[in-house]
Amino acid sequence: MLALLSGSVAFSQLPPEFRTDLSKKSIRLAELTPGGPPKDGIPAIRDPKFASIDSASAWLDPAEPVQVVRHAGNVRVYPLQVLIWHELVNDRIGDLPVLVSFCPLCNAAVAFDRRVDGQAAEFGVSGLLRHSDLVMFDRRTDSLWQQLTGEAIVGAHTGKRLAILASQVIPFQTAVENYPDALVLGRDTGHKRPYGANPYEQYETRGRTIFPVNYKKSRMIKPLERLLAFQLEGKPRAYLVRQLREHPVLNRGKGASAYVVFYQPEMRTALGARRIAESNRVGAAAVFSRFVNGERLEFAFVDGKFIDSPTSSTWNLVGRATSGPLKGTALDPIEHGVYYAFAWLAFKPRTDVIQLEGH
């Protein structure tokens, strides 16, 4: 939301512009709060236009964060400097209708298959929040959907969930190096916005939420610090990103669930300085299965590189081997995201936040 309000009023009814079926809901309407702009006040992108990687390099800083979605050999790159002003992109990658979302208040970049009951749905920004997270609506029924979870919470579709697609937030330079033929969401959106600027300049540094959030607070975890979070065997777990700086590779998990965490420090935050290209570097993290061709690999961080054992191949942040016997091989991604702690914990309160040695 573009308006950072000091307080908000919960709803007993939805604003009149909604034609949502209120007889169906999984939450109390009082859990919803106005975020400032009205319904469609933040315009979702409905007809995205794309540029080449080369042309986008003229206006994207190499360390800027971009969200990457891959499907059926196609790669799309969605710069957060564009998403921060629109929050939703209704797209189609090959034969797949895709919804790419970014909630700045939660630092939550999530991609979905936007089919509902087998039909492609179009989504907009409702202007409402729940636990300070973006609430979306579908244009067919005006049902309300929670962005971070993809669940319909009010309206005809209550209880349904959009399938989450694996995506990754990485520095633009990493996308350039790995996906030279990718298409990049451009600035030709049909809306006049100061792309590259951050309208939430003081939000991240103030260190606290603005809108109501119901979650169990901890003195060990600050509300707006970043969690690398994911689910494994149905159980949510998370790592504090600040601790990954000292542990850029983590080999974890047992048996078939063995996974590895990679961390690199170069990526900037989209929510720091007034201009994203001048923001501080918070780094990027990713989670992958450790198995290649049925063999479990062990990874180490050596001279600034991710190296596996037993093959001594070199890997990068997107899980691709760049040299050695496994060159060209890709690790299977585990769906994950980096979120502000309050946001993930509000929706996943049973998360095991794993403390690393030395902290």
Summarised one tens digit per residue, pLDDT across range 118-136 is 999 999 999 999 999 999 9
Residue ranges of E strands in 204-358: 226-232, 235-240, 249-252, 259-264, 284-289, 291-292, 295-296, 298-302, 305-309, 314-315, 321-323, 336-340, 352-354
Cα within 13 Å of Cα(284), Cβ side: 25
Tell me the mean pLDDT in the region 141-163.
Answer: 98
Summarised one tens digit per residue, pLDDT across range 156-176 is 999 999 999 999 999 999 999
Could you tell me if 57 and 178 lie in one domain? yes
φ, ψ of residue 261 in degrees (nearest 5) = -110, 130
**What is the average pLDDT score of the chain?**
94
pTM (two decimals): 0.94
Instruction: Give me the sheet containing 249-252, strands edge to edge.
Output: 249-252, 259-264, 284-289
Give SS3 for 318.
coil
Tell me the mean pLDDT in the region 7-25.
Answer: 82
Could you tell me if 113 and 178 lie in one domain? yes
Distance of CA 212 to the CA centre of its chain: 21
* 8: pLDDT strictly greater than 60: no
φ, ψ of residue 320 in degrees (nearest 5) = -115, 135
**Does a structural domain hold residue 128?**
yes
Residue 10 pLDDT: 59
Cα(169)–Cα(89) distance, integer angstroms = 16
Residue 9 pLDDT: 56
* 223: pLDDT strictly greater than 80: yes
Residue 217 pLDDT: 82
* 307: pLDDT strictly greater than 90: yes
Tell me the mean pLDDT in the region 216-228.
Answer: 90
**Does a structural domain hold residue 199?**
no
Q: Are 33 and 129 in contact (CB under 8 A)?
A: yes
**Does a structural domain hold residue 192?**
no
Percent of the chain's residues with pLDDT above 90: 89
Tell me the mean pLDDT in the region 210-228.
Answer: 89
Q: Spell out the residues 6+ positions from residue 243 whose beta carbon is closer than 8 angstroms to its own.
A: 355, 356, 359
Summarised one tens digit per residue, pLDDT across range 283-305 is 999 999 999 999 999 999 999 99
Query: How many domains is the chain built from?
Result: 2
Could you tell me if 107 and 164 lie in one domain? yes
Task: Give the residue numbers spanning the domain of 159.
Answer: 42-185
* 7: pLDDT strictly greater than 60: no
**CA-based radius of gyration for the chain:** 20
Percent of the chain's residues with pLDDT above 70: 96
Sign of the dihedral defined by the CA atoms of residues 56, 61, 62, 63, in that order: negative
**Does a structural domain hold residue 37?**
no
**Does a structural domain hold residue 25?**
no
